Amino acid sequence: MAAEDGHTGKEIIAIRRADGESRTLAASLPRLVLEARRIAANVIHGLHGRRRAGSGENFWQYRRFVSGEPSQNVDWRRSARDDHLYVRELEWEASHTVWIWPDRSPSMAFASKTARESKLERTLIVAFALAELLVSGGERVGVPGLMAPTASRSVIDKMAQAMLHDDAGRPSLPPSFVPSALAEIIVLSDFWSPISEITATLAGLSGAGAHGTLVQVVDPAEESFPYSGRIEFVEPEGAGVITAGRAESWAQDYTARLALHRDQIRAETSRLDWLFTTHATDRSAAELLLFLHAGMQVSKSGARSSTIKAGPAA
């Protein structure tokens, strides 16, 4: 009984520690926002925005008038400069919505000694930077259950403020909602939820025809299981405490179960024509950002492939 009481006490301490780290996120947000903007600026510098002809207000280019077009399309001022007729084309404005879900549950606060930052910090940096990148390209970005889609240039500030004022529970997976068929959904999580919950979430999100990407954000220690000797493992979301007398003897079984879990997720995303990748926090955040942007460009072209990977993937 004493041992059980001890384990319960340690579990409570660990949960409070994780919760405390989440609460101190408010102090870290300015740094995370600056890092996200820096990464987004570097990526945007090498990319072209959404520039296509269509109905809109912003001038894009002149093109030659084509016989059979309505004569009111002719820009007579430009045409007066030479012997050809020209049409003034406007930039296409039919943006679509991208929903970004950053997992802010207690398990995301974990960070080992080899990690650049916690899983939560990395997830928020990537979520903020991706939102900035998408808005700069003319898209709308929303956070399920937290922020309505917006194309505001201050999208990062809106996301950060919404999170700071969010006093609801912080589930690992996005809440149930019905995205439009043309929407794109990005879920950034460690995906340590039971496969049944992940499958149910995917079914709900893809029911209307939306597509998306699941990114499993993990700490390097969660990939390699570098533990040995007597170790107590505490699950910060209430699942309990497990003590290993010789932790190194668990490594093989842990690796096998991790691979199985990922295979199950990958099978479901493949079936629904979604993407799945893993990202360790000792890798570059810009690497993941470029992957996500490329994946959405592929999605628009109608040539998705769930075999695309970024960073170490099982």
Q: Are 288 and 279 in contact (CB under 8 A)?
A: yes
Which residue spans within the chain are E strands per DSSP?
A: 59-64, 86-90, 97-102, 140-143, 147-150, 184-189, 211-218, 231-235, 240-244, 275-280
Inform me whether the pLDDT recorded for 7 exceeds 60: no
Work out the number of other CB atoms within 10 angstroms of the CB of residue 173: 21
pLDDT above 70 covers what percent of the chain?
A: 77
The per-residue pLDDT for 238 is: 64
For residue 258, count other CB atoms closer than 10 A to its CB: 17
Mean pLDDT check: name the lowest of 39-53, 91-105, 114-128, 295-309. 295-309
| In the predicted structure, residue 2 carries a pLDDT above the cut 60 | no
Q: Which residue has the higher pLDDT, 58 or 274?
A: 274
Q: What is the mean pLDDT of residues 116-127?
A: 94
DSSP of 84-110: S-EEEEEB-----EEEEEE--SGGGG-
The predicted pLDDT at position 116 comes to 79
Look over the chain and give the mean of its residue pLDDT values, rounded to a whole number.
81
> Domain extents for the chain?
2-50+95-301, 59-90
Q: Give the residue-averaged pLDDT of 135-163.
A: 93
> Token digits for 214?
């699941």
Confidence label for 44 from pLDDT (cuts 50, 70 and 90): confident
Confidence of residue 119 (pLDDT cuts 50, 70, 90): very high
pLDDT at 126 over 50: yes
Q: pLDDT tens across 227-273, in order?
A: 888 888 777 766 677 777 888 888 899 999 999 999 999 999 999 99
Residue 14 has pLDDT above 50, yes or no: no
Confidence of residue 64 (pLDDT cuts 50, 70, 90): confident
Distance between CA atoms of 163 and 254, rounded to whole angstroms?
33
Residue 135 has pLDDT above 70, yes or no: yes
Rounded Cα gap, residues 1 and 58, in angstroms:
72
pLDDT interval class at 23 (50, 70, 90): low
Residues facing residue 211 across a β-bridge: 184
Q: What average pLDDT score do residues 203-211 get? A: 90
The band of 3, judged by pLDDT with boundaries at 50, 70 and 90, is: very low
Q: Kindly indicate the confidence band of residue 47, based on its pLDDT and cuts at 50, 70 and 90.
A: low
β-partners of residue 63 are 87
| pLDDT (average), residues 212-229 | 92
Selected residue with higher pLDDT from 294 and 301 = 294
Q: In this model, does residue 8 exceed pLDDT 90? A: no
Read off the pLDDT of residues 161-171 as tens digits, 9 standing for 90 and up: 999 888 887 89
pLDDT above 60 (res 303): no
Per mean pLDDT, which range of 185-189, 224-228, 255-259 is the poorest? 224-228
Q: Do the beta carbons of residue 222 and residue 194 sit within 8 Å? A: no
Q: Is the pLDDT of residue 38 over 80?
A: yes
